[in-house]
Every structure is written in structure tokens, then in C-alpha cells.
Amino acid sequence: TMAHYGRLSATVVEAQNLPSKDTFSKNDPYCKIMLSGSTQSFQTKVVKNGGKNARWEETFSFNVMPEHSDLKIEVWDKDSFSSDDMIGSGTLQIKPVVTGSGMKDTWCPIQDKKNRPAGDVRVILHFASSDPSSGNAACVQAGKYSAPSWAQQAPLQPAAPPPGYSAPPPGYSAPPPAAPPPGYSAPLPAYSAPPPAAPPPGYSSPPPGYSAPPPGYSAPPPAAALPPAYSAPPPQYAAAPPPPPPPAAADALPPGWKKFQDATGRAYYLSPAGTTQWDPPALQMAPPPPPPVPAPPPVQPLPPGWQELKDPNSGRIYYVNPSTGQSRWDRP
């Protein structure tokens, strides 16, 4: 029997019927594909909000030798503030492609860690032998730094749908996206999430037995609103006004002013500019000193496990808890 050496091109097309791993949002799936018995592995891009059905259409090349028998496929859900969740994994045999037709378009079923069905991944395989006597040996070099040549030789036939699948009726079109609720406004462009917490010195990854929170887990509810009996201070409420300045002495006059009496004994006043008036001039009193500034309240220490850090990009202070993986802008 001839040993088989060559290049295997694997196109990860799409996935369907993936179970949800997030309670309040859609899956952000990506796919890992590995050649068993080797160090060759690749990863697709992350499909943001891909949900149950994701599409990648990415092609990867493997150097195949006789000891290689299958590809391992894993689908993961990307998480920003915790470890990624594995949705499911499966195995795809490559011997029929290597020793037979040289091309295969198939669906690979995947299962979760409890061996329950977790959806299907569509993969297109094409093998190009490195044996010069093989009819497709030239594809090895042609596919080294470009798309595989089989993609230009003949159009690919669509994969057969999995059991139980039914096509949509004629004229079907996907429903339009849901309109945002009244009062909804898009997030401000300037907002950016705080950077993830840096692990403290001596931190090690979770032990092998660690698992993420169960699917039914939900965050604690927000703090209750103020009771109905509460009311804001009335509009007329204001701080007490400052005390009035002490009255001036009876004969106290501004600098340069003089007091006289006419023939009837009525007092009148002469200004430095030579004008006269009956009313006594007002003294220019110095403004009262401003009230003392109250001392700021003492800063309470952070709760156990929390640390205060500075964002190197914006200079803002944020807080992290390495033991739980949480990070936030406001002080806990």
C-alpha cells in the first residue's frame, strides 16, 4: 500500500444549532481545528453575536503524513471577563479523502462535555498528494501561500443538510430586526470598557476541576429604589443666609466726607468732590469672609480582594478583583 504524503486544505464554512452559553446575550463563537497526532492547529475569527448559527468561511492547510488519521474540531464561546466556554467538539476522519476522491463536503456533529448533541460544523476537505505520479501533485505548491487550486477547478456542491432539516418555503425572507424600545439611545462612542484585571504576582490559572457558573446563574438584582415615602427637599429649601454686617457707628463716614448742619439744625453731608446730599453716605463694608470649607470625608478602605489601578491609556482610576475576574470604573 502506498504511503500518503501531501497537503490537506480544510475550509471551516459554518456551524448551526449551537446551544447558548450566555444567559443574557448571544454566543460569540469561534472554531479550533487540529490535526491529531501533530502540533498543527488553527483558529477562526470570532463571530460577534453569532448566536446559534455562525459562518466563518476560512481555509487552513495541514501537512499530512501516513500517521495522521483525523481532524479534531472544537467550537468555543468567547467571553470578555471570564474564561471562554467550550460549546462542543467532534472528530472528522480524513482517510476517505486522502485515499479516495481527494475532496469531501460534510457536516461534522459535535457534542458537549456531557456527550450531549451541541450542533453541527460544515467542513470542506481537499487533499493534494505530494507524490509526483499523482494527478493533483501540483496542487501542493499552488496551495502553499494562496487559496487551494481546487477552489478554481470546479464549483463546490452544497453539503447535504442534516436529518430533520427542511428548507424555507418559496418567497421566505428573514424577519426584519426588532426595533429598539422607546427611549433607547445608542451607547456613546467615547465609552470604552475598563481593561481586564491584571493577575497579581503569584497568580495561577484555575485548577482542572474549575467550571464556569451554570447556565441558570444570574447576577444579583440591583439595589432597591428609594421607598415611596421619600421626597426631595422642597424648592424653597436653602442654606441659612450669612449674618448681616454689624451696623456702622452713628458718626462714621467714608474717607473724605464731612457732616454739617444748616440754619435749621438739619444735617447734610459734603463729598470729597464738593457735592452735597441730605442722606448720610453708606460705608463700603468689607465683604464677610467665606464660610470655612468642610473637610472631605475620610476615604473608606476597599472591600477585601479589590485593588485600585490606573488605566495607562486614559489615566483614569479603575478597580479590579483578581479572585473573581471583575473590573469596574466606580469605587466598590
Residue 253 in 3-state DSSP? coil
pLDDT at 5: 87
Question: What average pLDDT is seen over the chain?
Answer: 78
Question: Residue 277 forms beta bridges with which residues?
Answer: 269
Q: What is the pLDDT of residue 136?
A: 47
Domain ranges (residues) in the chain: 6-129, 305-331
**CB distance 327 to 311 below 8 Å:** no
Mean per-residue pLDDT, 184-188:
63
Q: Which residue has the higher pLDDT, 48 or 228?
A: 48
Give mean pLDDT, residues 171-184.
69
pLDDT score of 148:
43
Grid cell locating 267 = 444735617
Task: Assess whether pLDDT exceeds 50 at residue 271.
Answer: yes
Instruction: Give the list of residues 6+ apart from residue 248 with CB closer than 8 angstroms, or none.
Output: 283, 285
Mean pLDDT over 297-325 rounds to 89
Q: Which residues, in sequence order, are CB contacts of 319 under 8 Å at separation 6+?
A: 302, 306, 307, 308, 309, 327, 328, 329, 330, 331, 332
Report d(CA 116, CA 112) in Å as an integer. Answer: 5
Architecture of domain 6-129: Sandwich (2.60)
99 has pLDDT over 60: yes
Looking at residue 293, its pLDDT comes to 85
CA distance 100 to 136: 13
| Grid cell at residue 27 | 454566543
Rounded Cα distance, 154 and 156, in Å: 6
pLDDT above 50: residue 86:
yes
What's the CATH architecture for 305-331?
A: Single Sheet (2.20)
**pLDDT for 226:** 43
> Which of 236-245, 281-290, 303-312 holds the top average pLDDT?
303-312
Q: What pLDDT score was predicted for residue 153?
A: 44
Residue 15 has φ and ψ, to the nearest 5°, of: -135, 155
| Residue spans of alpha helices (H) in the chain | 95-96, 139-142, 150-153
Structure-block grid coordinates of residue 135: 494527478
Residue written as grid cell 482542572: 208
Tell me: pLDDT of 139 over 60: no
Q: What is the pLDDT of residues 228-242, one digit of tens each?
A: 555 555 555 555 566
Lowest mean pLDDT among 2-6, 52-56, 289-293: 2-6
Residue 144's pLDDT is 36
Q: What is the Cα–Cα distance from 115 to 90, expressed in whole angstroms?
A: 10
Indicate the residue type of 165.
Y
> What SS3 state is found at 120?
strand
Judge whether residue 12 has pLDDT over 50: yes
Over residues 313-321, mean pLDDT: 90
pLDDT classification of 129: cutoffs 50, 70, 90: confident
Could you tell me which residue, 206 or 5, shows the higher pLDDT?
Answer: 5
- Is the pLDDT higher at 316 or at 180? 316
Q: What is the pLDDT of residue 151?
A: 41
The span from the CA of 102 to the CA of 108, in Å, is: 18
Q: How confident is the model at residue 46 (pLDDT cuts 50, 70, 90)?
A: very high
- Highest average pLDDT, of 20-24, 225-229, 281-285, 298-302, comes from 298-302
Residue 11's pLDDT is 97
